[in-house]
Amino acid sequence: MSLDARVVESSGGHGHAVVIGSSLAGLTAARALTGLMDRVTVIERDWLPRGPGRRRGVPQARHTHSLMTAAQQGLEQLFPGIRQDLVRAGAVHIRIPEDMLLLGPAGWLPRVPTDLSMLSAGRDLLDAVIRERLYVDPKVTFLQDHEVVALEPGPHDTVTGVWARGRNRKECDGWNPERLIGADFVVDASGRGSQAPEWLAELGYAAPAESVADSGTSYATTLYAPPVGHVADFKSLFLMPSPGDPRQAVLNPVEGGRWSVTIATGNGTPPPSDHAELLRAAASLRHPMLRDLIETATPLGPVYTCGRTENRLRHYEKLRRWPDQFLVVGDALAALDPAHGHGMTLAVECALVLDHLLTAHGTAVGVSHRLRRALAHRIAPAWQSSTRTPAPPAGLRARLGRRYASRLAAAATADPHAAALLLHLHQGLAAPAALRSRALRAALGTRHDPAPMTPPSVTHGPEARRRRPVAPTAPAIGVSTGSSARPRPTGSSAHWPAAQPAGDRRRS
């Protein structure tokens, strides 16, 4: 990179932070930085849509995204009232497992009350609602259509800015000259494809060690309009993996009364790539409930696939030499297999750590070492729960662990405490001690009868039938929930276009 080509722009003084990337980790980090810094600039390679819209930088947005309990709580701390905003925009609140049919590793779980829940919505909607909060924050500026290409080193192992280039569609290489954007603190939230190791290497720093755990899982996702006459006392369906069968599947309601359906394969098996294959895959799962639901539903778009989902953790905390005033967060730090839905939780956790430490120290200078260590500590539970393999290493401890896991899974089909603990573990949450000991008693106590083979619901309407292609002016379709016999549209449906059947094209 030629220095001459760089146009230098000064930050105009202390108190300016730059965040690279405006997906969930970038947005939440920006919010955290506003507590201390005077100004925050979020640099994003894409042009950002006003409202929920697709963009290239977040291809995974086509897949089912659930905002788990810890992510909701953390977001609420960062953006008070955000849950309400999301629900108002169309996100669906789902109590786990009360509002779900949930096939655990050893059978259907009872629909008992717990303190767990998720918000289900299209990923574009989640980002758009959070982005709106930052648009109205006078401290935050978005620099869209700009790509960060390098870090600017400062004296005494510091970073003092980033080099960025704006898109220029008239130029043959598509970019304007690079310019320096000065900063007193830089956060890399550029996702799984982060260039931070290369940027650091250019400045003479060592590459971080990486832990990689790949279960060979691939995902196939599509949207459906529920069948006409569909009536259910559940909102969501989740088929967990079981010993010997790594596949899992989810059907979640999303804004506009649609269903987002994902099937995950394991062990390198390719995912279904069109609707016929998806239906066959659904029929071959441990229970045909998903097939029963979608065979009379109307596909609303292609089946999208995603295969790059290995767990990858960059151990920046272990590097002895590191530039101060620079931090890596979110997927750029630890990208997790989406099987447990931990990715957005981890992004929010990183922002909470940033918020807490910057507030506690009252400065962004000289705290990078503490921040890196605190982040490593905070993300460890999510990493462990995502990388727990079905066949842990041999040894007495591992054998006992496996035996306990299988007894807990069996107990969870009948005992509410065991079910609640299983779900806490799945979400990577620390369960209260009282719950742990009750679940332990249930798991180690009397042998349980074989788990019920039928899901704890009676209300998938026998009258359900595939809808006819709808005219563009037809009213939007609602998911009916509760035990009433007549479908009733959700509050959000009115804001969304009517569901339109779509073809079978594949785009991965």
Ligand X SMILES: Cc1cc2nc3c(=O)[nH]c(=O)nc-3n(C[C@H](O)[C@H](O)[C@H](O)COP(=O)(O)OP(=O)(O)OC[C@H]3O[C@@H](n4cnc5c(N)ncnc54)[C@H](O)[C@@H]3O)c2cc1C
Closest CA to 239 of 280, 297, 305, 284: 284
Q: How far is the CB of 31 from ligand X (least distance, A)?
A: 13
Give the total of residues touching ligand X (CB under 6 A).
Answer: 38
Write out the two tokens for 469. 């292609």
Rounding to the nearest 10 degrees, give the CA dihedral for residues 442, 447, 449, 454.
50
Site for ligand X in 281-340 (CB under 6 A): 306, 309, 330-332, 338
Closest CA to 409 of 240, 234, 235, 217: 240
Candidates 108, 199, 219, 238; binder of ligand X (CB under 6 A) is: 219
Q: Which is nearer to ligand X, 74 or 330 (CB)?
A: 330
Closest CA to 239 of 250, 230, 231: 250
Q: Is 60 in the site for ligand X (CB under 6 A)?
A: yes
Tell me the C-alpha distance between 363 and 320, whole Å: 22
Candidates 97, 107, 153, 191; binder of ligand X (CB under 6 A) is: 191
Q: Which is nearer to ligand X, 282 or 339 (CB)?
A: 339
Q: At what angle are helices 24-33 and 123-135 packed, to 10 degrees?
A: 20
Tell me the C-alpha distance between 400 and 443, whole Å: 13
Tell me the C-alpha distance between 224 and 233, whole Å: 19
Q: Is 236 in the site for ligand X (CB under 6 A)?
A: no
Candidates 31, 39, 63, 407; binder of ligand X (CB under 6 A) is: 63
Site for ligand X in 337-396 (CB under 6 A): 338, 341-345, 347
Helix (H) or strand (E) holding 253: strand 248-254
Candidates 18, 19, 20, 239; binder of ligand X (CB under 6 A) is: 20
Q: How far is the CB of 344 from ligand X (least distance, A)?
A: 3
Closest CA to 109 of 426, 438, 341, 416: 416
Q: Which is nearer to ligand X, 342 or 372 (CB)?
A: 342
Using the contact rule CB under 6 A, the part of the chain among 190-198, 201-209, 357-365, 424-432 near ligand X is: 190-198
3-state secondary structure of 127: helix
Q: Is 58 in the site for ligand X (CB under 6 A)?
A: yes
Binding site for ligand X (CB under 6 A): 20-26, 43-46, 57-58, 60, 63-66, 71, 147-148, 189-192, 219, 306, 309, 330-332, 338, 341-345, 347
